[in-house]
Amino acid sequence: MKLIPLEEFDEYMPPGEAVEPKKIEFESIGGLEIDLSDSWTIDRLLPKDGLCIIYGSPSAGKTFAALAMTAHIASGREFAGCEVERGGIVYLSGESSKGFRRRLKAIKDEFGFDNRTPFLFRTVPPNLGKADGDAADLIAAIYDKTNAAGWRADIIVIDTVARAAAGIDENSSRDMGQFIANCDKISSELGALVIGIHHSGKVADAGMRGSSALLGAADCVIAISSDETGARTARIEKQKDGEDGLSFTFKLQKVTLGQDRKGRDVTTCLLSDVTDLTRAERKTRTGPSVPSSLRLWLSVFDEVLADAGRMARPFSDGPEVRCIDREILREAFYERRGDENQKAKNQAFNRALNAAMSAKIILAKETVEGAILWKP
């Protein structure tokens, strides 16, 4: 038998030396006190700290909803019939810089924001998918900027989770766990609520994309969905310290920001017709079901119509309508379909277009410049 020298043992300690016990503290229940202060930034909707996930399919209106909620927080205005506690916002966007800036400009004009408004943004996503990523630097930068401005960050928005955790396997609980750990670090050190904007899975009504670790870690989960009419619903699927199942509905209203050098309107959307947060009874479906591919197609149609629509007269004796070019819509739809091959995306687009035309949800006309599409 081979003998191993004692000094090779990591835990070796010479005889006679006591082991220093780890200091683990406990509290006595007799001295227990609880915090009875309000725990909501938006009453019953957004808690003051922790991790909130807002998710939905592409073009469901996630960013529009997040911007609306944070704008109401920055201004202290009531939202969805709920009392709002005014607070500071830091919005980290990883999506199209041009499109996001347009949306933010509409918010700025709508609320009359200026340099005194407690709202900072950045259009470069942080790296929160690794232990040695940007979490520590981000915390320091947020603290320095907000402290210098004389306010504190109450809400940190990460739009989107995928952009801020690029390169990780979203289906891996270990990889997603690192993103969650970084969000927890940001929340605890800044005393803020971290809101992650995330995508839903490919299968309709299957919940958020990727590992269930994100759902388990979240203190609040809000699902955004839209139907074929353009109506959108935000529903609380999880509220750790509140009531699940509450929801509000909203629409996206097109607003014009100005004209480009060719005299064409530059547009984006704002939330409109926001209902009070309430527990709504589930409606029994009375009409035919709409395939998930068509719901996505119509949602993309609405966004493209708002951002790239133009006025045209399809028929010489008919009225002018706001329409979009089919190929512009096709490109936007392909982008929303993700990493599928070109053939699959093309087939899905054509099927959805034919279904929308058969249901007379969309009208179309071929022109010398290509097909144009519009809603009747």
pLDDT (tens digit per residue) in 297-308: 888 888 888 878
pLDDT in tens, 89-121: 999 998 778 889 999 999 999 999 999 999 999
Q: How far apart are CA 6 and CA 3, in angstroms?
A: 9
Q: In which element (H, E) is residue 1 found?
A: none
**What are the beta bridge partners of residue 325?**
372
Tokens 């009409």 -> residue: 287
User: pLDDT tier at 127 (50, 70, 90 boundaries)?
Assistant: very high
Q: Would you list the domain boundaries of the chain?
A: 40-272, 292-374
What's the pLDDT at 38?
73
Asked if 68 and 79 count as a contact pair (C-beta separation under 8 A), the reply is: yes
Homologous superfamily of the 40-272 domain (CATH): P-loop containing nucleotide triphosphate hydrolases (3.40.50.300)
Higher pLDDT, 4 or 177: 177
pLDDT at site 285: 44
Would you call 181 exposed, middle or buried from its count of C-beta atoms within 10 A (0-12, 13-18, 19+)?
middle
How far, in Å, CA of 73 to CA of 67, rounded? 10
Q: Containing H/E element for 46?
A: strand 46-47
Contact criterion met (CB below 8 Å) for 125 and 164 = yes
Average pLDDT, the chain: 87
3-class SS shares of the chain: helix, strand, coil, % to 5: 30, 25, 40
Q: How far apart are CA 225 and CA 352, in angstroms?
A: 18
CA dist., res. 316 & res. 251, Å (int): 32
Note if the pTM is more than 0.85.
no
Q: In what order do the strands lie in the sheet with 153-159?
A: 119-122, 88-93, 153-159, 193-199, 50-56, 220-226, 232-239, 247-259, 265-272
Q: Which fold has domain 292-374?
A: Arc Repressor Mutant, subunit A (1.10.10)
Reported as a single tens digit per residue, the pLDDT across 250-292 is: 999 999 999 999 999 999 999 999 999 998 655 444 444 455 5
